[in-house]
């Protein structure tokens, strides 16, 4: 069976502390990987996070996101900012070649 990678942007494995904020709700999370298009986060109760939320990363700022997928204890969040703006925010933490081929 062939696995097709539909990702546009290359991902980088990281381990960053952050939080997901939606309205008056906030949940701590751990960012496991990042790309110019989104992040994969580990979170205790992903089902309580609404479809759109803000990802707060102390080292990098705040990012508007929407949920791309949910799994037990994990969320895939798609950035709503432009990929070029995300690359600027993450400085040297993204691969130099940020577009998958």
Q: Which residues of the chain carry a pLDDT beneath 50?
A: 3-5, 98-101
Q: First-to-last CA distance in the chain?
A: 20
| Fold category of 12-93 in CATH | Thrombin, subunit H (2.40.10)
Q: pLDDT of 57-81, one tens digit each?
A: 999 999 999 999 998 899 999 999 9
Task: Tell me the whole-structure pTM to 2 decimals.
Answer: 0.84
Identify the helix (H) or strand (E) that includes residue 87.
Answer: helix 83-89
pLDDT at 97: 56
Q: Which two tokens stand for residue 49?
A: 């996070």
pLDDT at 96: 62
CB burial of residue 21 (10 Å; 0-12, 13-18, 19+):
middle
pLDDT at 47: 81
């Amino acid at each position: 069976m062939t696995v097709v990678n539909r990702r546009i942007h290359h991902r980088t494995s990281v381990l960053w502390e952050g939080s997901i904020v939606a309205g008056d709700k906030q949940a701590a999370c751990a960012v496991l990987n990042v790309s110019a298009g989104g992040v994969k986060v580990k979170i205790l109760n992903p089902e309580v996070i609404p479809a759109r939320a803000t990802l707060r990363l102390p080292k990098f700022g705040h990012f508007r996101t929407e949920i791309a997928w949910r799994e037990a204890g994990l969320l895939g969040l798609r950035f709503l900012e432009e990929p070029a703006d995300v690359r600027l925010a993450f400085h040297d933490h993204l691969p130099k070649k940020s577009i998958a081929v």
